[in-house]
Structure 1
């Protein structure tokens, strides 16, 4: 097995775990080429859209800086430390960073105020070692959607875009990568795709609105995008957005997105669709994803081995794997360079008008 291929196979994995300690599995993953971790939440916290009382009571800034520093030492390279820090949804960093208003309250703030408050929040996160937000959610939800209940910004595409673009600008000025999700826009899903097979009903109007929002967040400079877990029968009736060459091809071709593409959780029932995790991972890479979200308990070594074997068997192009790995490493390097350069932004509101100053 090529050492370069093996390290690349680990580099394209984004293992999620709920605690703030590196276990032996994750340490080994980082030692062997991994450069990303997701500091996630428990299933109960995910469903409640809120961190547990015990977590909020006990977690400190030092816990986050400690795990970020330890992970970087294990990897021997700049790394991506990701969290879910959604607008109006799951906020993994809870009371440790300045909070943002509810989704409804955000509609009463100007774009400049949202940008300033997002910058303040992301700056605090960056000091703790976090440099990747799996947010904002930009799905324009117009129908039943139990999966995005209490997590979305509503049915008005103009308002979703306005709030999301301001959030993205503020977060990325602080040196944190924002991830717009879930491409191409899940306006309705009858079932929660994490638990059941789910598809998005064909609606030309809803689809066009969803794509319009993604065009606008791309124009705003969003650095990462996450395809979703559901199937879009009108585009690809066989595979979820996260594993579909047609869906990701639309993102990279028609929309011209050149940034980091992060899959949704490959363990989701609607992404697996009866396949093994190894097959699903290879399908996602072949479709054009760069970074694969998986559980740290999903067998990272076996998964990396399966990716290498797919290259050796001709199921996945070697160049595609190496390019995906370099895309992930490059994102980590750029994020670190932004902080090392001393870039900062200050905001003031003279006479009630908000202005922004960038300095080094």
Structure 2
């Protein structure tokens, strides 16, 4: 069964009647979870199960990169910020790449064991020390170091059975503004961007299952934000780079998306530019506006959405018996072992 093209959120740790109604809407094909949806592992598993009962084919996602951006803490391994690997990488590249690969596997395995399909990871932005919202979420200020480190992280994700999502195309590291709060503008030419920010996206294309564009305007390339730009998504990403995977919009509630109009107009702009799925978070009225608008337009689902669902799943009890998991949570620098709940059910 094909899924709808809208990814929404829910308010709490259990589904309300309105949550369930929204999740059953034929234009809803995804759910993104936040820290507010998490109390403990048992509760999270119950929430995921309830979501699946409402919509068996729904894609469940979370931002669980590590460091500052890790939505679930208790009972999950504490994943370090990606840039924390950089000093060791410059001293001992091969050993560090092996560790980063293991961290990608660990992050993905624990989410998959919970029933969650994807983490929106990794960040492929090149950290130029301009953008505080990126900063240590990026692997490095050097494009080729990002390629090596992010490539290792994605290999680990794939080993676990999780699809990868590179963000924020074509790069968010060279602007000062946070696109959650403002509309960032980057005045560089395309050639400058291609020689720097685009390098990780180009070189890691074979490992990328999905891309999330930035809500940034590059006026020397296109007057529209990247996520609403057919030039960036259709010509540059699809045609010139040959990317055939999934394109997620970034959250349409962010300030960087407001220039396109109301929520319905933002969804039309993102889908028209080439996005396969649009995210509408933290605004229930906006979510309803989008799904009702797209229902009236008879918007067709994307066949690419199914490719992002989990490729294999190991239950938590089995994961904890794996020597790789035990080794990582007990011995890898920067990884804190999760606390195990007594009597936790396997689901």
For residues 47-62 of structure 1, the aligned pairs below 5 Å read 59-62=39-42
* Ranges in structure 1 where 5+ consecutive residues have no aligned partner: 43-54, 312-320, 350-360
Q: Deviations over 1:150-209 (max 9, x none)?
A: 432231111111111111111122122221100011232232221122112214334322
For residues 135-174 of structure 1, the aligned pairs below 5 Å read 135-174=121-160
Q: 2:239 aligns with which of 225, 228, 253?
A: 253
| 1:14 aligned residue | 7
Q: Tell me how far apart the structure 2 counterparts of residues 266 and 39 of structure 1 sit (CA, whole Å).
A: 16
Larger RCO (alpha carbons 8 Å, 6+ apart): 2
Q: Tell me how far apart the structure 1 counterparts of residues 10 and 136 of structure 2 sit (CA, whole Å).
A: 23
For residues 1-360 of structure 1, the aligned pairs below 5 Å read 11-17=4-10, 19-33=12-26, 34-41=28-35, 59-75=39-55, 77-107=56-86, 108=88, 110-203=96-189, 204-219=191-206, 221-237=207-223, 239-249=224-234, 250-273=236-259, 275-295=261-281, 297-310=284-297, 321-324=299-302, 326-332=303-309, 335=310, 337-339=311-313
> CA distance change for structure 1 residues 347 and 285 in 2, over 3 Å: closer, same or farther?
same
Q: Secondary structure at the match of 1:86?
A: strand
Conserved? CA contact 1:131–1:175, under 8 Å? no
Q: Tell me how far apart the structure 2 counterparts of residues 147 and 104 of structure 1 sit (CA, whole Å).
A: 13
> CA distance change for structure 1 residues 17 and 189 in 2, over 3 Å: closer, same or farther?
farther
Per the normalisation by structure 1, the TM-score is 0.78
Q: CA RMSD in A?
A: 2.7
Q: Tell me how far apart the structure 2 counterparts of residues 301 and 30 of structure 1 sit (CA, whole Å).
A: 11
Offset at 1:347?
5.1
* Ranges in structure 2 where 5+ consecutive residues have no aligned partner: 89-94, 328-347
Conserved? CA contact 1:16–1:38, under 8 Å? yes
Conserved? CA contact 1:130–1:176, under 8 Å? no
> CA distance change for structure 1 residues 102 and 141 in 2, over 3 Å: closer, same or farther?
closer
Q: Secondary structure at the match of 2:300?
A: helix
Q: Tell me how far apart the structure 2 counterparts of residues 19 and 103 of structure 1 sit (CA, whole Å).
A: 29
